[in-house]
Every structure is written in structure tokens, then in C-alpha cells.
Amino acid sequence: MLQAGRSEREAGKIIERFHLAFIEVAAVRLPIADFVLKGDANMRFFFRSPRRSRDIDFNYLGMRAESFAGRVDEVLKSRALAELLRQHEITLVNPRRHKQTETTRRWKLSVRTSAIESADSKIEFSAREEPLDDFELRPIDPEVARRLGGRSVPINRYGAVAMVTQKVNALRDRSEIQPRDIFDLDLLFRTHPDALA
């Protein structure tokens, strides 16, 4: 059982390194004003959550979703991304469009190393209307980026008030309460009590 737990942790680490590498390239190759980091990856990269996320989610704010999706494809196939991953001996495997609708653009992929045969992840850009203007362009937490062997690049991300709103809405809308939402709200309330005001 210890081995399974260790493998899960290692898979989480390489997925997180992939997420940071994707952000590093996306921040340069995609129109930065068109997307905002949200969800668990935002909690990890900006609020120092100890929880890792398997997936990375963004809100898409632009007007040309199909051409944007093509540019995401280019990021995933780019030499720049492959090189960033190679520095950590990570290989990106079979990135592919999974769900492409008016409101959701999703890609599935796997990453692997010599120690981890395959770890699955998703990238999602959602164009659902969320009345949240609590976002700003900020660099990823430098300590988190350093620990992952990457760079602290600026990206639009939701602030504490928007994250509290998203988590409360998730609790309200889900048929079954997810412990992660309670955990994240507790972290946000402890570190950003002004988000309650």
C-alpha cells in the first residue's frame, strides 16, 4: 500500500510540473487577456494549497473559441513545452481534444517518466458566464515555481473573493459534497478573512 501511495504522490508531482510548464508556454503563446486560471490549480499556485490537482481549469473570456482552441493545440505540440518537460525527464503522451462545445473546450493527455508509466490529466477552458471580476494578472508564487523547477510567470488568476464564490457555488450545485471544497474554503477563510466581508 505504501508503494501505491508513493506512486500516487509521484504522479501528482509530474502532473503539477506539466501544469506549470503549460502555463509558462501558454502565457507567451496565447492571448493573455483571454483566459483566467481558476479551481484547484489556482489554489495550489497562488494560495499555497497543499492539495495537488490532477486537472487544470481556466475561464475563457475571448470571442473566438475555435481559433483559440487551435492555439492551445499548438502549445501542446510546441517544442518549447516539450523542452521544458524534457528538463524534468517528462514526456507528454497523446494530447487530444476531448470535448469541444460552445461553453467547454477540453483536452485529455498523459505524462510519463521513467518511474511513472502514465499519469492522466485534463486541461479545460470554460466559457460559461461567471459574474466574477475579482481577477488580476499576477506571477505564480515564486516559491512554488522554484520547488517545481520552473519560472514564476504572470497569468490572470482569480483572487480570494472569487475563489470563495466559486467554492460556495460548487457546494451548492453538487449533488454530493466534496471534501476538497470544504478544505479549500477553510484555507481561504484562514488566509484571506477579508474575502468574507
The CA distance from 178 to 180, in Å, is 5
Q: What is the dihedral of CA 178, 169, 157, 25, to 10 degrees?
A: 60
Mean pLDDT of 141-169: 95
Residue 5 is predicted with a pLDDT of 60
Residue 134 is predicted with a pLDDT of 87
C-alpha cell at 72: 492551445
What beta strand segments (E) does the chain contain? 35-38, 56-60, 91-100, 104-112, 119-126, 135-139, 154-158
Whether 131 has a pLDDT exceeding 80, the answer reads: no
Whether 1 has a pLDDT exceeding 50, the answer reads: no
Mean pLDDT of 164-179: 87
* CATH classification (class only), 2-158: alpha beta
List pLDDT tens digits, range 71-116: 999 999 999 999 999 999 999 999 999 989 888 999 999 999 999 9
- Torsion over CA: 67, 153, 151, 114 (sign): negative
Domain boundaries, the chain: 2-158
Residue 87 is predicted with a pLDDT of 97
